[in-house]
A and B are shown apart, each in its own frame.
Chain A
């Protein structure tokens, strides 16, 4: 019988300074406890490997899920909240414009101008299709939407009754028009405002989600790096080999994953911040300005329809236009921090507002001085210095501002999405490879003890 082979000698690289705890080869120690096995060098290496593996795995999972969530939030902003906010703005603005157009058309004694009639019909159609678009999405305030869709047909019915009575020469028509305008101002427009604000707030919170920082993953990644580096240093001391290729590879891969995460987050956050500053916040500034001028335009027409008893409408005109000008006004808000196109549009709007206000002053002067036909001629005339033309260029400036802001938002959100593109896969792959490198690096060392 061949005697059992001599026990393998301890590895030559075993450091002398091993404080009394020398490796007891597992093959020898058939009766060793688990605790002894753990305390042995390969046991400690295995423990370190397990711990590091779990931490790197946790880092990888957090990095991947966080990146995927942020990417999906950005997609949600681009595909859902962003477009729904646009629809809410279209709904609000087209109903306001319908109110102003119906009142202006009413002023035209006799036949209603076809251009105003078709503008009114287009506004109602735009409001209707915005309602449909908003209701098929995940809109922020369904109750407001429901209220608008039940009351809008009532409004159009009242406007048509006013037109029919006006055609018959009955003063009753003006009463129905005033009732329609009161319905618009007391119910429909406030609901549209509530809807717009709720939707804009949701857009803002979705944007915040998309721009959120990986505030667990990155510190965890740094801890992982510290762990890997200190493990390599310990191993270098123990095994007298400076470089452990597996661990080194793992460290480089983790640095790569961290870098990917950080750079992608920083770039995406920058773009999403710009999307807010030149995009969604400018849309809000321009569209609230536009609502205010539309309200003022309706007030101008209704003061003339009311023919002397419309003092309340004229006061409202003053209040609405006062919110636009001045350093705290909406036009100033549209200009601060905006891009060049938006600043140009806001500046043009400021000039056109001044021109329109001077036409309005002339209208009031004529009406208050007893020259009602002159006032109406200024209010509905087709000359370049009459109210419709000056108002139209003001409205067009603000409309261009809204378009510029929407374009800026889409552009920046698209850039943010491409910065986040594939980061989750990249992080997953890098961390997966790092896990492999980590395991391989440790196993090589542990195997030397067997």
Chain B
């Protein structure tokens, strides 16, 4: 009897011990994570290398003199009295002029953080056109668009015109019409102050940034030294890449580059301009009367000193002579 009882106790004790052990969890310290190193971060929409640019097509399209536009028809109508049935009358009926602009091109089209307004050289030109239609430069709505959206927005009539550092060339003339030249720029190169490059020719095999859909990215891809084109959505993204050491240079119109250099004193423009980039306002080809009207406004601005004032406000004095107008009719 006592033997059985002691057996019972022993077995019960074993059972309880087993139960306690089953509840124990391991408390080992987990090992540190392997390979903790910083992954490179870059802006949204960076393509490295850039997609084969669409302007690989049609660099050979010929259209005569691309900068020749439509002659203004006589005197300008007075503000608020647009001819009935004209494009300007329908704009006046809407109550504001819709203009596609950039919000990231310092000095030409950018949002001033203090006031929250978009300001710049192109913006002032657009204000002058609104003034000519409405008598009030502020009857205007700006739509900030990317470089790639400039032509589609004009063609789809989402905007009345685009004032966005847009180079006139024959490819673009297939889809939109342009005003006369209002600024002569040229493509140049921006590098860090410590860089030894003196132009696009020294950047072979290195990454050079420009906005997708611009003529600049095409020029980079076509450069004889074969740099690697890297495309972004907005121009300031290129400066971010340059500051993060992810590209060696930015190449685009000297106007845009001056705006970027003004935001980062550690950069410099090198090599002068290696292309000619005449800027025009993009307008729908179906609105020929509006093209003539805009050319009339621009001609007035060349002669009455308004162009000079805008130049000196944004790009310093003394202002050069305004680019002359060329007409095809």
Contact = CB atoms under 8 A, between A and B. Distances in A.
B142 interface: yes
Contacts of A440: 1
B33 interface: yes
Interface string A136-172: 0000001100100011001000100000011101111
B33 A308 contact: no
Interface string B19-39: 110110100001001001111
Nearest to B26: A138
Interface stretch (B82-90, B114-122, B170-178, B281-289): B114-122
Interface stretch (B5-13, B56-64, B316-324): B5-13
B16 interface: yes
A61 B15 contact: yes
B277 interface: no
B234 interface: yes
B151 interface: no
Interface size classification for chain A: 35 or more
A439 B141 CA distance: 98
Contacts of B41: 151, 154, 158, 179, 183
Contact of A309 (B16, B39, B149): B149
A65 B15 contact: yes
A68 interface: yes
B236 interface: yes
A172 B239 contact: yes
Given A154-B38, A175-B239, A436-B8, A182 B44 contact: yes
B18 A65 contact: yes
Given A172-B239, A370-B96, A432 B145 contact: no
A372 B103 CA distance: 13
Contacts of B4: 439, 443
Nearest to A69: B22
A307 B25 CA distance: 56
A439 B22 contact: no
A443 B240 contact: no
B38 to A, nearest CB: 7
B12 A432 contact: yes
Nearest to A143: B33
A69 B23 CA distance: 6
Contacts of A435: 8, 12
Residue among A60, A109, A307 with max Cβ neighbours from chain B (10 Å)? A307
B215 interface: no
A173 interface: yes
A122 to B, nearest CB: 24
Contacts of A110: 113-116
Contacts of B113: 109-110, 166-167, 169-171, 173
24 contacts: A57-B11, A61-B18, A65-B15, A68-B22, A72-B22, A76-B25, A154-B38, A169-B113, A170-B106, A174-B104, A174-B236, A175-B104, A175-B240, A176-B240, A179-B41, A179-B42, A309-B234, A370-B142, A372-B116, A424-B19, A428-B19, A432-B8, A436-B5, A443-B4
Interface of B: 1, 4-5, 8, 11-12, 15-16, 18-20, 22-23, 25, 30, 33, 36-39, 41-44, 96, 98, 103-106, 110-116, 118, 140-146, 149, 233-234, 236-237, 239-240, 263-264
The 10 closest A-B pairs by CB, nearest first: A370-B141, A109-B116, A308-B144, A175-B236, A182-B44, A72-B23, A68-B19, A146-B33, A307-B144, A171-B110
Given A68-B20, A370-B140, 15 more contacts: A61-B15, A64-B15, A64-B16, A151-B41, A167-B113, A171-B263, A174-B103, A178-B44, A179-B42, A307-B103, A307-B111, A308-B145, A309-B149, A370-B96, A439-B4
Interface of A: 57, 60-61, 64-65, 67-69, 71-72, 76, 109-110, 142-143, 146, 150-151, 154, 158, 165-167, 169-176, 178-179, 182-183, 186-187, 306-309, 369-370, 372-373, 376, 424, 428, 432, 435-436, 439-440, 443
